[in-house]
Structure 1
Amino acid sequence: MIGVTLPGPLTVLCIGAHPDDIEIGCGATLLELAARGDTSFTHVLLTGSPQRVDEARTATELFVPGADLVTFDLPDGRLPAHWGAAKEALESVAQGLSPDLILAPRLKDAHQDHRVVAELVSTTWRDCLTLHYEIPKWDGDLGQLTHYVTVPEETARRKVELLHKAYPSQQHRDWWDDEMFLGMMRVRGMECRSRYAEAFEVAKELLTL
């Protein structure tokens, strides 16, 4: 296993199909990137009711203060049927943004909206390093991922604290609890010889020798 450090300053683009996707998938990584002090963030959400978007706005400010949030009102759960509109939305973002790093859902995610976003990202930004984050769900689609970001225990617990604070509408769900969020990071940490980590999938990576 080889450790790599991304040089800064960085422009980071975070894309989610739904409010809370980004923070669940890579919230600890966002906290670590924000702590560097040399990173600018843009968050993009393709779906979300007004209440959920308000929560996402709160989450964005808590995790990465000062980040830009761009939202679209495409129908939740129906992105495959609105592929053209989703593509147009991301293309509109791409016209004004050339990120150094993209964080987006996995290509093999079991949720149809997540898969559409993942597929569109790879065709909209062809020459950018993209880390595809994982989102746990009842479908049981967690896989063997390729890249890890280790996080201190303090950061892992801070992620969970902020998730609870930002998304009160989701706390009735039977899977939304400290054990699930910390457990995911603990398992991924074990896989890379750390206490906690978040894991990602990279479809293509260019090495300069």
Structure 2
Amino acid sequence: EAMASAQDLLGDRVKVVFGRMTDNMLPYAHIRESKQFIRQASEMISPDLVIAPHIGDRHQDHRFVAELAHQIFRSQMILEYEIVKLEGDLGKPAIYHPMTSDEAAAKLDHLESHFASQQGKHWYHRETFAGLMRIRGVECLATDGYAEAFHANRVTLA
């Protein structure tokens, strides 16, 4: 799913690599393998920007990946994305990217056509994602009323 999604969005400009960690078992299992996997990936590329889950995420898998990103990509800018879920831990992001109505619709269409494994979850609905983009659009006065939002510990503007 992630590979097809990335290919659909970015074409041949992206390479998706997966580790063999068990879902919902991080950080309790695979601690060493996870860190080695991400460290090896970091040695193959030197990104200007890393996008990771929010470090304040209460889901253990998400939080662990965020912690690894901060440990390994120490000199890169890290934008932390939001994940809607039962725990209600979205927080107050500080970085906003206004979206046009067409961009918001394209994102919603993309989410509906990918990630079949998530489709049955109680939170995975077009309206949920549209609502969050609308709230973030209100917060940043987005012209079309939609925005993405990120948390960040350190942002360097050039």
TM class by smaller structure: over 0.9
For the 8 Å contact 1:83–1:116, the answer to whether it is kept is no
Alignment CA distance shift 1:85-1:151 (3 Å): same
Which segments of 5 or more consecutive residues in structure 1 lack a partner in the other structure? 1-54
Q: Give the structure with the higher percent strand.
A: 1
Equivalent position SS for 1:68: coil
Instruction: Choose from 19, 23, 26 the match for 1:76.
Output: 23
Matches within 5 A, 1:94-173: 94-173=42-121
TM-score by length of 1: 0.71
In the alignment, the residues of structure 1 paired with residue 149 and residue 132 of structure 2 have an alpha-carbon distance, to the nearest angstrom, of: 9
**How big is the shift at 1:205?**
2.7
Instruction: Choose from 150, 155, 158 the match for 1:205.
Output: 155
The answer to whether residue 6 in structure 2 is matched with residue 60 in structure 1 is: yes
In the alignment, the residues of structure 2 paired with residue 172 and residue 138 of structure 1 have an alpha-carbon distance, to the nearest angstrom, of: 14
Equivalent position SS for 1:200: strand
Give 2:136's aligned amino acid.
R
**How big is the shift at 1:168?**
2.3
TM-score by length of 2: 0.92
Aligned to 1:42: none
For the 8 Å contact 2:84–2:123, the answer to whether it is kept is no
Instruction: Give the paired residue count.
Output: 154
In the alignment, the residues of structure 2 paired with residue 79 and residue 168 of structure 1 have an alpha-carbon distance, to the nearest angstrom, of: 22
Question: What are the superposed Cα offsets for residues 110-143 of structure 1, whole Å, 9 maximum, x if unpaired?
Answer: 1001111111111101111110001000111110
**How big is the shift at 1:68?**
0.9
Which segments of 5 or more consecutive residues in structure 2 lack a partner in the other structure? none
In the alignment, the residues of structure 1 paired with residue 63 and residue 120 of structure 2 have an alpha-carbon distance, to the nearest angstrom, of: 26
Alignment CA distance shift 1:139-1:60 (3 Å): same
Instruction: Choose from 13, 29, 38 the match for 1:90.
Output: 38
Alignment CA distance shift 1:157-1:124 (3 Å): same
Question: What are the superposed Cα offsets for residues 132-178 of structure 1, whole Å, 9 maximum, x if unpaired?
Answer: 00100011111011111111111111111111111223222222211
C-alpha RMSD over aligned residues: 1.2
Give 2:7's aligned amino acid.
E
Give 2:152's aligned amino acid.
V
Give 2:2's aligned amino acid.
A
For the 8 Å contact 2:53–2:81, the answer to whether it is kept is yes
**How big is the shift at 1:207?**
5.2
